[in-house]
Chains A and B, each alone.
Chain A
Amino acid sequence: MHYGFLTIYWRDMIRFLRFKTLLISSLIQPALWMAFFGIAMSANFDRLGASIPPIPGVPEVQYLTYMAAGVIAMTVLFTSLFGGIVLLFDKNWGLMREIMASPLPRDQIIFGIALSGMTKSFIQVIIVMVFGLLIGVTFFAGYSIGHTVVALLGIMLFVGMFSIGFLFFSAAISISMETPEGLQGIITLLTMPIFFASNALYPVEAFPPVLQAISTVNPLSQLVNGVRYFAIGDNFTTMGIHYVYTTAEILLSFTILVIFAVAMFGVAWWRFKKAVVT
């Protein structure tokens, strides 16, 4: 096995830790979503849900807790989509030539970038979760220590698989694009449908069929499913809607993320093979 990806990882992490602004700015957005949108909508949705009689024995969670999973997913989505941009900067500033002219196999560049992006996602997820718990998100309610650890590992597994898929994708566009503006354009174009055609902020049951179909296969929905399953549980109600997750459903969600990651690696691999950097 080649360990060259660790070189790329090492450099990217140095930069990440050196520029705390990147970390901080990437955390402001999820914090704002939760603090404003979350708390405001929570007041509304919870009032609507209050008119529906609770199901005996099924825990009821607040909207804030429900959408916190979506905000975590969104944070990972943004970080991962932009995770490859360092490649574009390296390319434009000529730094990529050093790497491209070295004996390092190109797939190692892709793996290195994916691994560092994944690490960044983990750090952010932890911070966003802690912030959420502070403002009243009831994740891991009634869990034992052991159960909480398992739940955290489960969440990280989903976060990791989701993020490398989008990091591969981000690396693929970054190496193909000429300008950061172009990359930004593509990412902005993609984030809206990915974010809103998902179950991140609201239930998809009332969506029109086409939108519902999209959100069902949307990788972001898979991540949200995973986070809710591990952080809230497999049986709960929110806004008067009863959620039940079976193990099979969660495995299917994870499988979709794996398929997505493999496909995106294929795209990245193809783009890197074609890339000429001089």
Chain B
Amino acid sequence: MSTSIIEVKDLEHQYGDFKAVDGISFTVGKGEIFSFLGPNGAGKSTAINVLITLLKLQKGEASIAGYDVRTEPEKVRESIGIVFQEVTLDRDMTAWEILEFHGRLYGMTRSDRKERIQEILELVKLEEKKDTFVKKLSGGMKRRLEIGRGLMTRPIVLFLDEPTIGLDPQTRMRMWDYIKAVNEEGTTIFLTTHYMDEADNLSDRISIIDHGKIIASGKPWELKNALGQDLIYLETSDNSKARAIISDRVNVSGVTDKGKGILITTNDDGTKVLPLVIEEIRNSGISVITVNLKKPSMDDVFVHFTGRELRDDKPEKISTAFGRR
């Protein structure tokens, strides 16, 4: 693949005895938005810290924009922009000073800085906040300023570590628009997130990471397709019997217990399968109590591949707050 911008092979990273990253390999193509999806503590930040050269590469290989992370860290640093997970802005500096400082750090010339700061402030819609101190900016504005800062040096790859953590739903949506706009200008984006909807909404490709390993990779729809078509959730008077009856159906690809009911994965249009399933169960003398039909979400994908829900946080709540679809 000649157009890949990030190439990682068998990357491992250990803190003492604990293997935070346990042999991951992936590539990111030019112009892609690539996501690492996983719960907190899955090893996402460690992996990103190795790629951006803040942590030493212990084992494996990694290159960014053609530069070896191990042997050419300076070149890697010049090629990337970073938006860290926590706010890394000096509260007592103005938006303009933040960008000016960053441009100087990266050795941009005075005229280049002047021009670029103007462009960036326009891009992230902070022209009017140019001389406002960071402490007076809202959470969303700070995040936008950070994204703008990450783009100051026209990086080939922009790393976003949990870009919308702690933001309200509206601000998150707008942040996604910025990220997409930046990507459309040609910047390759590598992001980590533990929000399913974020990964689903933004990414061209996703790698699901858990316990330091990549468990599944693909385009969002490919991952969802791994679960078949629609999902049917049923609660009946006799779940185990109902399960036995319908598991042989041709358009049912699998049945699992879930909560008080059973979850049916189908390989056909769920709206057509559902009446047939209900009829069959009823004919066997079992009554149906609750029915739910839905498209697989990234949440289902995550549960499917990891066998469990996210360890902490409740991204579902945020998702429903402003309707995922």
Given contacts A15-B92, A94-B88, A276-B55, contact A99 B105 (CB under 8 A): yes
Q: Which residues of B contact A15 (CB under 8 A)?
A: 90, 92-93
The reply on B53 being an interface residue by CB < 8 A is yes
The reply on B78 being an interface residue by CB < 8 A is yes
Interface segment, one of B79-87, B193-201, B259-267: B79-87
Check B53 against A94 for contact (C-beta < 8 Å): no
Check A18 against B92 for contact (C-beta < 8 Å): yes
**B: contact size bracket:** 20 to 34
Check A100 against B54 for contact (C-beta < 8 Å): yes
The reply on B106 being an interface residue by CB < 8 A is yes
Q: Which residues of B contact A7 (CB under 8 A)?
A: 101, 104-105
Using an 8 Å CB-CB cutoff, how does the interface string of A255-278 with B read, 1 for contact, 0 for none? Answer: 000000000000000000000111
Check B54 against A276 for contact (C-beta < 8 Å): yes
Q: Which residues of B contact A104 (CB under 8 A)?
A: 105-107
CB distance from A205 to the nearest CB of B (A): 48
Main SS of the interface on chain B? loop
Using an 8 Å CB-CB cutoff, how does the interface string of A81-113 with B read, 1 for contact, 0 for none? Answer: 000000000000111011111111000000000
Check B49 against A278 for contact (C-beta < 8 Å): yes
Q: Which residues of A contact B49 (CB under 8 A)?
A: 278
CB contact between A4 and one of B90, B93, B107, B149 (< 8 Å): that residue = B107
A26 to B97, CA, bound (A): 26
The reply on A11 being an interface residue by CB < 8 A is yes
The reply on A14 being an interface residue by CB < 8 A is yes
The reply on B102 being an interface residue by CB < 8 A is yes
The reply on A207 being an interface residue by CB < 8 A is no
CB distance from B209 to the nearest CB of A (A): 18
The reply on A10 being an interface residue by CB < 8 A is yes
CB contact between A11 and one of B55, B56, B89, B101 (< 8 Å): that residue = B101
Check A10 against B104 for contact (C-beta < 8 Å): yes
**A: contact size bracket:** 20 to 34
The reply on B211 being an interface residue by CB < 8 A is no
Check B54 against A97 for contact (C-beta < 8 Å): yes
Check B97 against A101 for contact (C-beta < 8 Å): no
Given contacts A103-B74, A103-B77, A103-B78, contact A98 B54 (CB under 8 A): no
The reply on B252 being an interface residue by CB < 8 A is no
Check A102 against B93 for contact (C-beta < 8 Å): no
CB distance from B113 to the nearest CB of A (A): 11
A11 to B90, CA, bound (A): 10
The reply on B281 being an interface residue by CB < 8 A is no
Residue of B nearest to A90 (CB): B90
A163 to B84, CA, bound (A): 34
Using an 8 Å CB-CB cutoff, how does the interface string of B195-229 with A read, 1 for contact, 0 for none? Answer: 00000000000000000000000000000000000
CB distance from A13 to the nearest CB of B (A): 12
The reply on B62 being an interface residue by CB < 8 A is no
A104 to B56, CA, bound (A): 17
Check A278 against B55 for contact (C-beta < 8 Å): yes
Using an 8 Å CB-CB cutoff, how does the interface string of B33-59 with A read, 1 for contact, 0 for none? Answer: 000000000000100010011111000
Residue of A nearest to B150 (CB): A98
CB contact between B88 and one of A4, A11, A19, A97 (< 8 Å): that residue = A97
Given contacts A11-B93, A104-B105, contact A98 B88 (CB under 8 A): yes
A102 to B89, CA, bound (A): 15
CB pairs A–B below 8 angstroms (21 shown): A4-B104, A7-B104, A10-B101, A11-B97, A14-B93, A15-B93, A94-B84, A94-B87, A97-B88, A98-B84, A98-B88, A98-B102, A98-B105, A101-B52, A102-B105, A103-B74, A103-B78, A103-B105, A104-B106, A276-B55, A276-B56
7 smallest CB-CB distances across A and B, nearest first, come from A7-B104, A102-B105, A94-B88, A103-B77, A278-B49, A94-B86, A103-B78
- Given A102-B102, A103-B74, 13 more pairs with CB closer than 8 A: A6-B104, A10-B104, A14-B93, A15-B93, A93-B88, A95-B89, A97-B54, A98-B102, A98-B105, A98-B149, A104-B107, A276-B54, A276-B55
